């Protein structure tokens, strides 16, 4: 998961600090989660999904389509 999340962030030309600010966490905590040092919680996965407007299943490598399945 960490590689996809980092790739998505970089594809959007965002820094870790910018994403962390949007999620309401510190850059350090975001960095730990992006590198896999710390696990993503359900709450942060939901926030990240909303931030990027992508499905959680895409973030978790369950699909290759970033679209949100409703």
- 62 band by pLDDT with thresholds 50, 70 and 90: confident
Which sequence spans correspond to the domains of the chain? Answer: 2-59
DSSP strand E in the chain: where? Answer: none
The continuous run of DSSP H or E covering 49 comes out as: helix 42-52
Q: Report residue 40 CA to chain centroid gap.
A: 9
Please say whether the beta carbons of 56 and 46 come within 8 A.
yes
pLDDT tens, residue by residue, 12-57? 999 999 999 999 999 999 999 988 899 888 998 999 999 999 988 8
- Using pLDDT thresholds of 50, 70 and 90, give the confidence band for residue 58: confident
Range 2-59: architecture per CATH: Orthogonal Bundle (1.10)
């Amino acid at each position: 998961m960490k590689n996809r999340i980092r790739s998505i962030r970089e594809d959007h030309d965002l820094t870790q600090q910018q994403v962390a600010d949007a999620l309401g966490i510190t850059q350090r905590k975001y960095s730990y989660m992006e590198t896999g040092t710390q696990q993503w919680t359900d709450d942060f996965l939901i926030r990240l999904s909303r931030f990027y407007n992508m499905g959680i299943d895409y973030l978790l490598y369950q699909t290759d389509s970033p679209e949100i399945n409703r």
